[in-house]
Chains A and B, each alone.
Chain A
């Protein structure tokens, strides 16, 4: 359970960027999370409310874009989206360790005023 710590870092970055850009309030924060980031979305939402309290982001809306894992299959020369954590190419059944998407734990944008 490290979602509170991660969210504290995320909000710290957001508040810093808001201040640098002359924003007095953060109204909305958009993040992108992949399944391999190892975080629970619900825990992140809870943490967001806690760590934004009494800051310029108090009451802000948290928008989370969940993106799926995408792997590269070298023999087939194509990307595929695995159905679970076994990254097996649906065409050739080979396992892939070449992950092209799914580790995201990113701040995408925010709305300030």
Chain B
């Protein structure tokens, strides 16, 4: 009989071992991240009720999450009401940069925690006027491993990889790239200088993040941002 790899042998509910000590088997079948997933579902319900869209923004440290969001919020000011919850291990440097856009910003400092969790987002939301938002960005802690498994209640996941990180980033961090709805190849103005092979990068993203949309952008020169904004507008209007 073929095994499914996950089947367990049936275990008796009570077995006797070590002489008189009765060992009982308890069947659990619980997700370790069950609590996070329950809170994420509550977050999602709240976001839906309030009528705004939520994007979880993920990347390695230094790929340009903050630069992209600062520029996005600034360029779309007056058109879309954006807000950001930003997570870092320490400092509120990113929040200060983002505040220059005029949008409401909440900084979460996680201390030693390498990712954001849904309960942190719920608490951060208490500091925002949720009736005055069209689009909430969650700038996750810069990390391409840990945030992958933590649902925050977002509607969309955007993963950034800058051209200076090389073309094979998705192959090196497949578990996170596989969760992406959109992959942004950032700092694209440096592609030639960095010897970045676009075709190889696109192929690598496609092989790992099969269903993701791929955009090349530069927060510095503005290259490719119109396509990104088009996507954001589409999300907000589809929701309205």
Contact = CB atoms under 8 A, between A and B. Distances in A.
Interface of A: 1-2, 5-6, 9-10, 13-14, 17-18, 21, 23, 27, 30-32, 35-39, 65, 67-68, 70, 85-88, 95-97, 99, 101, 103-113
A111 B31 CA distance: 18
Contacts of B145: 1-2, 38
Contacts of A9: 32-33, 35
A30 B28 CA distance: 9
B11 A109 contact: yes
B32 A106 contact: yes
Mostly, the A contact residues are mixed
- Give 4 closest A-B pairs by Cβ, nearest first: A85-B174, A97-B210, A107-B28, A2-B146
Interface string B196-212: 00000000001110110
Contact of B22 (A1, A67, A68, A113): A113
Given A17-B28, A108-B29, A113-B24, A86 B6 contact: no
A88 B26 CA distance: 38
B28 A38 contact: no
Contact of B23 (A13, A36, A108, A112): A112
Interface of B: 5-6, 8, 11, 21-35, 113-115, 145-146, 148-149, 171, 174-176, 178, 206-208, 210-211
B32 A105 contact: yes
B19 to A, nearest CB: 12
B88 to A, nearest CB: 16
Contacts of A23: 24, 26
Contacts of B26: 17-18, 21, 23, 109-112
A65 B146 contact: no
16 contacts: A6-B32, A9-B33, A13-B30, A21-B24, A23-B26, A36-B175, A37-B175, A38-B149, A85-B171, A99-B178, A106-B28, A107-B30, A108-B8, A110-B25, A110-B28, A113-B22
Nearest to A5: B113
Interface centre among A32, A85, A97 (most CB of B within 10 A): A85
Contacts of B113: 2, 5
Contacts of B31: 105-107
Contacts of A99: 178
Contacts of A14: 28
A105 B8 contact: no
A95 B210 contact: yes
Contacts of A70: 5
